[in-house]
Structure formats: C-alpha cells, structure tokens
Amino acid sequence: NAGVTQTPKFQVLKTGQSMTLQCAQDMNHNSMYWYRQDPGMGLRLIYYSASEGTTDKGEVPNGYNVSRLNKREFSLRLESAAPSQTSVYFCAGSSGGSTDTQYFGPGTRLTVL
C-alpha cells in the first residue's frame, strides 16, 4: 500500500497563476483533509471532506477550492496564487471519527513568487 500520496512534491508559481495539488489514498479512508504548514504556525486546516461528495471549510479556506473526486482522491486548487500562499501543503486521511488517527502524505512545497 502506498498510503497517502501527493503530487507534485515541489512547485514554483508566479503570482496570479493557478494550479491543482493532487492527493490520493489507498487506505479506504472516509475523511480527507488539507492542511498548510508555515514556520512557527503549526498546521492549519484549509478544507476537509467528511465523506465522498461533501466538503467543508476549515480555519483558513480563503483563496482555495477543493474537490472530492471520489473516495480515493481529494484535490486542492489555487485559482490565483498569491505570495501569502507560499507554504508546505499536507493531505491527510482518516476513517472519519474524532478519535481516529490521521495519516499524512509527504507534502507539497509551494513557492509563489
């Protein structure tokens, strides 16, 4: 099993460009999450999907959109990238309960110039 995979690993964008970060899991997780990690800030939740076909905003959703394409895949889209979106982005999955372990992907390091 690959677990939780993310593509790409690294990306450099210019201000105003768009891109989609891909996340896939083969662990049969019901819930999936997108976090961003910034120095000294810990991880902050951007969006989550409690089940296939549903998505909800987290703590920092502005400037992002998500799609839960199917049970396996959960993508994060930046429509018009800004330097403030320079960050490391992590996708995670879990069975869905509040006690359940979240399994994290390796991350995507995004730089917006």
Partner 1 sequence: AQSVTQLGSHVSVSEGALVLLRCNYSSSVPPYLFWYVQYPNQGLQLLLKYTTGATLVKGINGFEAEFKKSETSFHLTKPSAHMSDAAEYFCAVSEQGGADGLTFGKGTHLIIQP
- Footprint of partner 1 (CB under 8 A): 4, 31, 33, 35, 40-45, 48, 50, 56, 58-59, 90, 92, 96-99, 101-102, 104-107
Q: How far is the CB of 83 from partner 1 (least distance, A)?
A: 21
Q: How far is the CB of 79 from partner 1 (least distance, A)?
A: 22
Both tokens assigned to 19: 């891109």
Q: What whole-number distance in Å separates Cα of residue 24 and Cα of residue 27?
A: 9
Q: How far is the CB of 53 from partner 1 (least distance, A)?
A: 15
Q: How far is CA 72 from the centre of its chain?
A: 13
Contact (CB, 8 A) for 31 and 95: yes
Closer CB to partner 1, 47 or 81, in the complex: 47
Closer CB to partner 1, 14 or 40, in the complex: 40
Closer CB to partner 1, 16 or 96, in the complex: 96
- Position of tokens 């995979």? 5
Q: What whole-number distance in Å separates Cα of residue 31 and Cα of residue 29?
A: 6
